[in-house]
Every structure is written in structure tokens, then in C-alpha cells.
Structure 1
Amino acid sequence: MNKKILVIDDDILTLEVINSMLDNEGYNVKSVHLTEMIFPSIAEFNPDLIIMDIKLNKADGRILCNQIKESENTKHIPIILLTGLEYDVIGEIICNADAIMGKPYKLDNMLLTIKNLLDSKIESFS
């Protein structure tokens, strides 16, 4: 079964690009652009990994990330946060994300990060 990745961003173009990229790699992808649909989508889709922008139109991705990581039902899901912040500022971000990637991100780096997080998730259950 293909791994499921939930992509959260309020920019439709960004969603389309990431969705296409992940789909081409064989992942089962669901995209969400409305913040009120994030938690229902997590419950329904049961993703293996979440990719989320930090700056959402109605929410802060860091706060949402921490809420996901604090829940017993979802704390096991690896989360990659995307941000347009400067690289020296990224290191100062305090949240429970498993990875934070700056924009513009490199396709190869994102795919490697996804693979590593999914592989480490499998190892932790072994």
C-alpha cells in the first residue's frame, strides 16, 4: 500500500505542485487548503506524514503542529513544516515538527526528508 501524505497550504498553486511531485513518486496524496478542514482530514485520511506551511491564512502552522503532536491519536505522525523565513531564523522556530524546510525547497531534499521520516517511523514500530 502506498504511503499517505497530507499536504496543508492555503496557496492552491503550492498544493498542486507538491501534490503532483508526490503523486509522481507513488505516494497517496490528499491536499487541504482550508484550516478548518485540517483535523477532519487527518481523522478521515489517517496520513503517514504531514507536510504543512507555517504561514496559513487563518492559523499558524507551528501551533497546529504542536496540537497534532500533543494528541495521543496523532503524535506519531511525522510533520514537515514549510516556511519562507530566512534560514538563520528557521533554527529559532520552536515547535514539535520533525523537519522544517525553507522555501524555495529542493525537490530532492524534500523527497529524501520524506523517505527518511517514513523509514524512521517504520523502524520505531519494529
Structure 2
Amino acid sequence: MSALEYSPYAADCPSRQLLDRIGDRWSVLVIGSLVDGPRRYSAVADRVQGVSQKMLTQTLRALERDGLVTRTVFPEIPPRVEYELTERGRSLRAVLAPLEDWATNHMDDVAASRERYDSR
């Protein structure tokens, strides 16, 4: 299947799975947490507040599987593991940063809309 044949609107298209991965709330935040360079697991967990250990592990594995994150194990005792964005992951960050900016810049308006809606 060539890139021109991919359609995320088709139920069985792999590009839909990729969009699901990219749009997952934990994926967006994990990618953002790695923008400044490699981090250890605990540093990612500290940065992405509220993520469970299970979800963080699953998210990191999925991002690694998709080639967006690399996992490096250093032969030390105890072993040290670091996660880092790949070039593909960094290119995705360029797309996600404006989305984060939009969310923070429009949050007051969205909160007001929610309040109006909920009071009806």
C-alpha cells in the first residue's frame, strides 16, 4: 500500500491506528516530555503527572514500536534506561507543539463554554 492509498477514514487502514497512537493523550504528553532530550523512566513519569506505571510502560513501548522513541539500556548496576525521541518522533513534535499551544491559549474560552453548556 503506497502513501497515496492510506486513508485514516477507512476502518481497516493502518494510518488510522497511527493517528490513534498519535492522538492518545499519554502519547502526546510523553512525546512532549522527551522534547528536551533523553530522560529516564522516572523523569518521564514525573513530567507526565497522573499517568500510571502501566500506562506509561504501554505508551513508551508503543511509541518505540512505531519508531518514535528509542530505548537505551546502559550496562550499569543497577541498569539505567533512557528514552529519547527519534528523528521521526522529533518531526511529530513539530506538529504537536502547536496543538499544545492552541490548548493552553484557548483554555479560558473553552472553560467558559463548558460552564455555559453545563448550566443549561
TM surpasses 0.5: no
- Which of the two has greater helix per residue? 2
Length-normalised TM-score, structure 1: 0.28
Greater C-alpha radius of gyration:
2
TM-score by length of 2: 0.29
Report which of the two has the higher share of strand.
1
